[in-house]
Amino acid sequence: MISSWRTDQVMGLCVAATATLIVSGCATVTPAPGAEAVKVTKNPADVTACRAMGNVDSRAAHGNVLNITPVLRNQVIGLGGDTLLLTFDPRDHVVSNPGDLATGIAYKCEVAPPVG
């Protein structure tokens, strides 16, 4: 038989481990400089005059739906873009798998002002 002290210790460890998992799952993503200005669209017509910079996905969100948009915006900035065409968003589907990734394409749409 396990002593009462041992049972209390095991229960305490279980509570601490569960709390750690919950808190780490709620961690937020720090926006990269300029990430909050990234335009997000689901309409391909919005990016017809833009240059594609690369593909992005929400893998770094680690399944936390609150982190999907910040993660994608950070990636757009990293690729030198200013606009995100969201091509798949699991939040738009009533039935989606927990591992489904949001995907998109980073675009550069803003024209740099002339120098001089």
Contacts for 81 with CB less than 8 Å, ≥ 6 apart: 38, 53, 54, 106, 107, 108
Global pTM value:
0.70
pLDDT for res 23: 44
pLDDT for res 105: 98
Chain segment 47-92, per-residue pLDDT in tens: 999 999 999 999 888 878 788 999 999 999 999 999 999 999 888 8
Whether the per-residue pLDDT at 113 is higher than 80: the answer is no
Q: Which one is predicted more confidently, 33 or 99?
A: 33
DSSP annotation string for 51-107: EEEEEEESGGGTT-GGGHHHHHHHHHHHTT-SEEEEEE-GGG-SS--TTPPPEEEEE
Q: Does domain 28-108 have CATH number 3.40.50?
A: no
pLDDT for res 85: 98
